[in-house]
């Protein structure tokens, strides 16, 4: 049994899943303990549940037909027995597989036990005292491995929780900073305007009021986007998926944007694409964010939008010929609050592209950026094509 001890010690010092580790121990113990089947059962909500099963010798080929000792496990897990021996001595059938000898052992100290180890020998020999002792050692190893795995799992859960809490703390501190900046401006300029000991000419007053107005807009925009992003992250933003065509949506949003901004120069290169399952309000929001960014970061530069498809995806490409984004910032621009250092004084929250990505991902799609400094920026969106009954084709907008 020394080999078995050594195998156990080795597996304990390597981060193996408990099943792999136990399997190694079982293989090593085989030379000391004859067993055809080794099965581990745990107490589940619907009775005993096999969580490990190994066929070692005889009856390996007939795994589906033989008895795996679930009755024995039941006596341990539900009958609160710590040791069950069952021997089939009948001689009516010469097939060994029809004569299983069972040794069942409780593998933990709980009352009733939560884990049972069942060893099966087909056609004997019966389990002797020494076999039972070896079986107990095996059960003890099993208990160590399972307890260790449980602890590991708990530790991982705790670490995930800790990470989440840290993110939340970062979020709160970033948010308070983001809110404080516009509030500071608003407070400063209103205090200046209200001072009794100062006289402001009309132009200065207007300039101050304009700054206040812009900062209030920024606050409102920040709050709106924060709410959206929080809802998107917690999956509580409702999506209303319907059959729709992306090329039609691009046309609609572009017309709206051009009516709002007469300087905007947009080229559309759209091919009629297959229907998708999408939330048209949310997808419009994605496009509006891209338009808003193009206006802010590439003012006056022409925009081109293309659409096409292959067998799996419908694609939308949104390009501007603006200043572009430096390569070192590109990997981060979809992260919450990330803003690349600005050459213009464009205001923003760093939430727009995060929201775009979340919306696209909620559609099982992808969004990427390709950009070269001085040449422009391209956002590539892909959304899964959906197959639609032909009769419905005409009804889609």
Nearer to ligand ADP, 171 or 208 (CB): 171
Query: What's the closest the beta carbon of residue 325 comes to ligand ADP, in angstroms?
Result: 5
The C-alpha atoms of residue 271 and residue 251 are separated, in whole angstroms, by 11
Q: In what order do the strands lie in the sheet with 100-106?
A: 47-55, 37-44, 115-122, 100-106, 83-86
Between CA 117 and CA 85, with CA 25 as vertex, the angle to 5 degrees is: 25
CB atoms within 10 A of CB 41: 28
Query: What's the closest the beta carbon of residue 247 comes to ligand ADP, in angstroms?
Result: 22
Structure tokens at 151: 């602890």
Contact present, 104 and 76 (Cβ < 8 Å) = yes
Region of residue 385 (phi > 0: left; psi between -120 and 50: alpha; otherwise: beta): beta
Query: What's the closest the beta carbon of residue 289 comes to ligand ADP, in angstroms?
Result: 6
Query: What's the closest the beta carbon of residue 205 comes to ligand ADP, in angstroms?
Result: 29
Alpha helices in the chain (DSSP H): 2-13, 18-29, 70-77, 129-194, 202-233, 246-260, 280-297, 352-362
**Shortest-Cβ-distance residue relative to ligand ADP:** 348
Nearer to ligand ADP, 22 or 291 (CB): 291
Nearer to ligand ADP, 7 or 298 (CB): 298
Over the range 355-367, which residues count as b (16 or more CB within 10 Å of their CB) and which as e?
Answer: bbbbbbebbebeb
Query: What's the closest the beta carbon of residue 359 comes to ligand ADP, in angstroms?
Result: 13
Strand-pair partners of 121: 101
Query: What's the closest the beta carbon of residue 175 comes to ligand ADP, in angstroms?
Result: 14
Contact present, 318 and 379 (Cβ < 8 Å) = yes
Nearer to ligand ADP, 29 or 353 (CB): 353
The C-alpha atoms of residue 39 and residue 37 are separated, in whole angstroms, by 6
Nearer to ligand ADP, 245 or 306 (CB): 306
Residues 6+ apart with CB under 8 A from 28: 3, 4, 6, 7
CB atoms within 10 A of CB 151: 10
Nearer to ligand ADP, 339 or 366 (CB): 339
Torsion sign over Cα 111, 115, 116, 117? negative
Query: What's the closest the beta carbon of residue 320 comes to ligand ADP, in angstroms?
Result: 5
The residues that touch ligand ADP, with contacts defined as CB under 6 A, are 289, 293-294, 297-298, 320, 322, 325, 333, 338-340, 348-354, 377
Nearer to ligand ADP, 289 or 307 (CB): 289
Nearer to ligand ADP, 75 or 289 (CB): 289
The C-alpha atoms of residue 177 and residue 165 are separated, in whole angstroms, by 18
CB atoms within 10 A of CB 189: 19
Report CA-CA distances (Å) from 98 to 37, 73, 362: 14, 19, 55
Nearer to ligand ADP, 143 or 377 (CB): 377
Nearer to ligand ADP, 63 or 170 (CB): 170
Query: What's the closest the beta carbon of residue 190 comes to ligand ADP, in angstroms?
Result: 25
The C-alpha atoms of residue 36 and residue 38 are separated, in whole angstroms, by 7
Query: What's the closest the beta carbon of residue 116 comes to ligand ADP, in angstroms?
Result: 56
Query: What's the closest the beta carbon of residue 362 comes to ligand ADP, in angstroms?
Result: 17
Is there a cis peptide before residue 311, judged by omega within 30 degrees of 0?
Answer: no
């Amino acid at each position: 049994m020394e080999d078995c001890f050594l195998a156990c010690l080795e597996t304990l010092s390597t981060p193996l899943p408990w099943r792999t580790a136990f399997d190694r121990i079982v293989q090593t113990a085989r030379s000391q303990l004859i067993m055809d089947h080794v099965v581990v059962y745990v107490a589940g909500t619907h009775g005993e549940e096999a969580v490990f099963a190994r066929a070692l010798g005889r009856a390996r080929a007939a795994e589906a037909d033989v008895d795996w000792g679930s009755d024995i496990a039941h006596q341990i897990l539900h009958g609160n027995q710590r040791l069950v021996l069952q021997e089939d001595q009948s001689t009516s059938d010469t097939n060994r597989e029809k004569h299983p000898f069972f040794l069942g052992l409780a593998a933990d100290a709980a009352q009733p036990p939560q884990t049972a180890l069942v060893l099966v020998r087909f056609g004997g020999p019966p389990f002797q005292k020494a076999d039972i002792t070896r079986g107990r050692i095996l059960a003890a190893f099993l208990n160590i491995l399972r307890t260790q795995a449980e602890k590991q799992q708990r530790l991982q859960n705790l670490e995930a929780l800790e990470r989440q809490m840290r993110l939340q703390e970062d979020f709160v501190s970033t948010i308070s900073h983001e809110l404080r900046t516009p509030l500071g401006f608003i407070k400063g300029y209103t205090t200046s305007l209200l001072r009794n000991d100062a006289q402001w000419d009309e132009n200065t007053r207007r300039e101050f009021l304009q700054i206040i107005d812009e900062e209030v807009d920024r606050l409102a925009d920040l709050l709106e986007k924060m709410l959206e992003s929080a809802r998107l992250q917690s999956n509580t933003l409702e999506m209303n998926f319907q059959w729709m065509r992306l090329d039609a949506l691009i046309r609609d949003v572009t017309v709206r944007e051009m009516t709002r901004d007469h300087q905007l120069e947009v080229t559309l290169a759209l091919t009629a694409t297959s229907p998708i399952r999408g939330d048209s309000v949310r997808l419009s929001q994605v496009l509006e964010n891209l338009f808003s960014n193009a206006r802010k970061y590439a003012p006056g530069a022409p925009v081109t939008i293309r659409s096409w498809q292959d067998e799996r995806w419908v694609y939308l490409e949104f390009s501007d010929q603006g200043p572009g984004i430096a390569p070192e910032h590109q990997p981060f621009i979809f992260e919450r609050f990330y803003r690349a250092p600005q050459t213009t004084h464009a205001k923003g929250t760093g939430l727009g592209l995060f929201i775009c990505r979340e919306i696209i991902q909620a559609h099982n799609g992808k969004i990427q950026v390709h950009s070269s400094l001085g040449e422009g920026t391209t956002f590539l969106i892909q959304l899964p094509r959906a197959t639609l009954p032909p009769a419905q084709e005409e009804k889609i907008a």
